[in-house]
Structure 1
Amino acid sequence: MRSFNHYWSLGIILALICLLSVPGLCWHSQQIRAARATYRSAMAPVILVPGSSATQNRFNQLVKELNTQTKTQHSLLRVEVKTNNQLVYSGAIRRGDRQPFIVIGFQNRADGLTNIRKQAAWFTIAFRALQKTYHFNHFSAMGHSNGGLILTLFMENAMAKTGAHADRLMTIASPFNLEEANPKVDTPMFTQLVAGRQHLSKDLVVYSLAGSQSYTGDGIVPFDSVDRGKYIFQKQVKSFTQITVSGANANHANLPENQQIVRLIRQDLLD
């Protein structure tokens, strides 16, 4: 009987120890999760995505121009995503460069809703590979034309699963309603982007730039299509700013080299 009481008392003591240790374990787990959530990697690349028909070399001149205007020289790494998901790299990131440029382009550079969705999936593949290699967990991004749509789709549908955080997004002449000029018509692209907008980060800062070669657009993308960005980002992100650029190089193809836009990239995307 004495032996039974002894084991019974020992069991009660062990049970109490276990119960008392649970809050400590929970607190420790919460601390780990909080640390992971607030940790910001030293590297925060600026990811550039070209529009349809453009290659991963599209922003060579832009990066060269930016490096003449900044005290810190930024590396340039280019990635081409093949249709079989293979990644081909050119350029390099300099050791210690905390804000390199990374251009992600695609072998299949065709236009159209179906291809834009495919390109968003290919972008995710490249992004995950870059994360694994360079160990960053936050970044800024710029997309020209359809590149802005690819980035928006990524931020709505896939970014949360990567554990990364987007600090700033700049879209240049991005046709959120594709080539549709009629403000009363919603394309499937626009409908999809609006439907997914609640998944955008509440801390994201967004700049949407439009070119104005005429009163209706930049020569290719209707102004109303770029203007639709406000229905996607406004009241969903930390801040949303629309800017219209006119004057020299305000046509669609030349916008990334427009000096006003170069200045805005330097001012709003680079630390």
Structure 2
Amino acid sequence: MKKSSVGIFLTVVIILIAIIGGAFFHTRKTNQFVHSTTATLFFHGGGSSYRAEDSMVNAAKRAGVTNTIIRADVTKDGQVSLHGNMHRGAINPIVEVNYEDNRQLDFNKHGKYATNVAKLLQKQYGIKKINMVGHSLGNISIIYYMLQNGKNKHMPQLQKQVDIAGHFGGLDFAGIPDAIKQPAGMKLNAQGKPNHMNATYRQMTAARKIYPQNQVAVLNIYGDIGNHTDGRVTNVSSRSLKYLVASRAKSYTEIKFTGKNAQHSKLHENAKVDRALIKFLWQKN
């Protein structure tokens, strides 16, 4: 065989090995995840946008969870428009939710916004089951979606929720309205129940009867950079979620992250957080 022919032959062999190896690696990578039509909705924090969700969403895409990522823009009056390519039956689709009114402190409106997104996904793509991921104020969309729809079997049913840096028990800094301010001296008992509750938390306790029994798996992630706070939200406020949902949840798990990347606004760009939520939401058992 001539040298040129040998060279061509070897080149072809190398290319074939690369293609087969790449296909094997891709199959192996994607096979570790569930293949489901359940849509996962990401909700950003106050004063932010869907861009804050990009790090977590892109980590899921790189891991091989999905190739379907769309955006849901929500106007101040709750009108929803969808952007991007998705088809019925898409595997593990992700929806980055983007609120125009990103500093809204009427928590009932957060529930309305999330409800309208879920309704449109149901109408346009036949979505029947959803997961929800929230950061900071975005967690309010999750729990108020359930307060408004937890007993409605005609709405998309929540399967898993990931709460990151949630301020369920309130916020403890100047300028916060009393209804959502963390009460002074707040402590939790073994069930996560606060000894003092603001008006909003008392409203949220309705979740203890509205969440469907043994349906929703909950992962509660919070950061501690020292002194039991992520620098913005106290750990006691984040951990007060337990009292609201744990008694009816399919499972309830808390994970505390520490170090500089556990700071409030860095948690949604923390690679360890990415791995935890990918494992929880999509990895096969």
TM-score by length of 1: 0.78
2:222 matched to 1:214? Answer: no
Alignment check: 8 A CA contact 1:155 1:200 kept: yes
Partner of 1:245: 257
Deviation (angstroms), 1:63 = 1.5
Match of 2:40 in 1: 46
The match for 1:229 is 241
Unaligned runs of 5+ residues in structure 1 are 1-40
State, as a whole percentage, how many aligned pairs show the same letter: 21
**Gaps (5+ residues) in structure 2?**
1-34, 172-181, 187-194
Instruction: Write out the 4+ residue segments of structure 1 that deviate beyond 6 Å after TM superposition.
Output: none
Take 2:248 and 2:88, find their aligned partners in 1: how far apart are those partners? 36
Q: 1:200 aligns with which of 195, 204, 211?
A: 211
Aligned length: 228
CA contact (8 A) 2:119 2:155 kept: no
Query: In structure 2, what is the equivalent of residue 4 of structure 1?
Result: none
Tell me the equivalent position of 1:124: 115
Give secondary structure in 2 for the equivalent of 1:160. Answer: coil
State the partner residue of 2:135. 144
What does residue 185 of structure 2 align with? 182
Q: CA deviation at 1:73?
A: 3.1
Q: Following the alignment from structure 1 to structure 2, what is the Cα–Cα distance between the partners of residues 192 and 223? A: 20
* Equivalent position of 1:107 in the other structure: 100
1:90 is displaced (CA, Å) by 2.5
1:125 Cα shift? 1.3
* Alpha-carbon offset, residue 96 of structure 1: 4.9
Distance 1:42 1:260, change over 3 A: closer
Within-5 A mapping of 1:17-96 = 43-70=37-64, 72-93=65-86, 96=89
Aligned residues of 2:218 and 2:253 also touching (Cα < 8 A)? yes
Could you tell me how far 1:177 is from its partner in structure 2?
A: 1.3
